[in-house]
Amino acid sequence: MINSDPIGLFDSGIGGTSIWKEIHNLLPNENTIYLADSKNAPYGLKSKEEIVALSKKNTEFLLNQNAKLIVVACNTATTNAIKELRASYDVPFIGIEPAIKPAANKSETHTIGILATKGTLSSELFNQNVMNYPNTKIIEQVGNGLVQLIEEGNIESVEMTSLLKTYLKPMMEANIDYLVLGCSHYPYLIPQIKKIIPKHIKIIDSGEAVARQTKNILTQTNLLGLEKKSSQIFYTNYNPMVLKSILNNKYPVIEKEF
Ligand code: DGL
Taking the domains of the chain in order of start, what are their residue ranges? 7-96+207-255, 100-204
Tell whether the torsion through CA atoms of 192, 198, 199 and 203 is positive or negative.
negative
Dihedral angle of Cα 82, 88, 91, 94, to the nearest 10 degrees: 0
On the question of pLDDT at 191 being above 80, the answer is yes
> What CATH number was assigned to the domain covering residues 100-204?
3.40.50.1860
Global confidence as pTM: 0.97
Q: What are phi and psi of 43, to 5 degrees?
A: -75, -25
On the question of pLDDT at 1 being above 80, the answer is no
Angstrom CA distances, 199 to 18, 36, 114, stand at: 23, 33, 17
Span 85-122, pLDDT tens digits = 999 999 999 999 999 999 999 999 999 999 999 999 99
> Do the domains at 7-96+207-255 and 100-204 have one common CATH topology?
yes
147 lines ligand 1 (CB under 6 A): yes
41 lines ligand 1 (CB under 6 A): yes
46 lines ligand 1 (CB under 6 A): no
What value does the mean pLDDT take over residues 168-172?
98
What value does the mean pLDDT take over residues 9-14?
98
Q: What are phi and psi of 233, to 5 degrees?
A: -115, 135
Amino acid 228: pLDDT: 81
> Ligand 1, from 183, 189, 210, 243: best to mutate by most atoms within 8 Å of Cβ?
183
Amino acid 229: pLDDT: 85
Domain 7-96+207-255: CATH class, spelled out: alpha beta
Angstrom CA distances, 50 to 4, 55, 74, 76, 125, stand at: 32, 8, 14, 11, 17
Of 36, 77, 85, 183, which is the active-site residue? 183
On the question of pLDDT at 40 being above 90, the answer is yes
207 lines ligand 1 (CB under 6 A): no
Amino acid 117: pLDDT: 97
| Dist. CA 228 → ligand 1 center (Å) | 33
User: Of all atoms in ligand 1, which is nearest to the CA of residue 185?
Assistant: 1
Span 122-147, pLDDT tens digits = 999 999 999 999 999 999 999 999 99
Is the distance from CB of 186 to CB of 194 less than 8 angstroms? no
